[in-house]
């Protein structure tokens, strides 16, 4: 049997993958893009200002593939690339207003799923969940 830490990690991974996959599917259908393209939009919704290299590393994809995907998303008006704030040689990527609208319905659905799943938990339990998830996400 798994120890408590491993159980938490396993369930968080399972939930995150399930929700990310469903969110990507919804965005892809709505925008008529592929799920990998939709995943990039979802990542940029959570953290704007990433570079192409940042995205490639986070998604475990090669830089060329990410570059081609970003070009397509930029042509569609879903993202914008601008000169980096810290390094003028890099290009930071952000969602456009259309890109934000594309992920809004998916994010709203995810929030509703989380609310439904956590209904009945005390505020203290929710705070504890948030702490654990934050620690796992930042380490």
* CATH code, domain carrying 32: 1.10.10.10
Residues 6+ apart with CB under 8 A from 52: 63, 66, 67, 70, 91, 93
Q: What's the mean pLDDT in 50-72?
A: 92
- Domain limits for position 24: 4-138
Percent of the chain with pLDDT strictly greater than 70: 95
To the nearest whole number, what is the mean pLDDT of the chain?
86
Look at the chain and report how many structural domains it folds into: 1
What is the model's pTM?
Answer: 0.74
Q: Which pLDDT score is estimated for 139?
A: 66
């Amino acid at each position: 049997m798994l120890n408590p830490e491993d159980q938490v990690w396993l369930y968080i991974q399972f939930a995150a993958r399930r929700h990310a996959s469903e969110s990507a599917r919804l965005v892809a259908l709505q925008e008529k893009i592929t799920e990998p393209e939709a995943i990039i939009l979802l990542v940029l919704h959570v953290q704007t200002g990433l570079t192409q290299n940042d995205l490639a590393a986070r998604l475990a994809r090669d830089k060329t593939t990410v570059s081609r995907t970003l070009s397509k998303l930029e042509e569609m008006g879903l993202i914008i690339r601008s000169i980096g704030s810290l390094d003028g040689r890099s290009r930071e990527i952000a969602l456009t207003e259309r890109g934000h609208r594309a992920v809004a319905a998916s994010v709203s659905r995810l929030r509703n799923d989380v609310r439904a799943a956590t209904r009945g938990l005390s505020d203290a339990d929710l705070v504890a969940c948030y702490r654990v998830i934050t620690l796992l996400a930042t380490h």
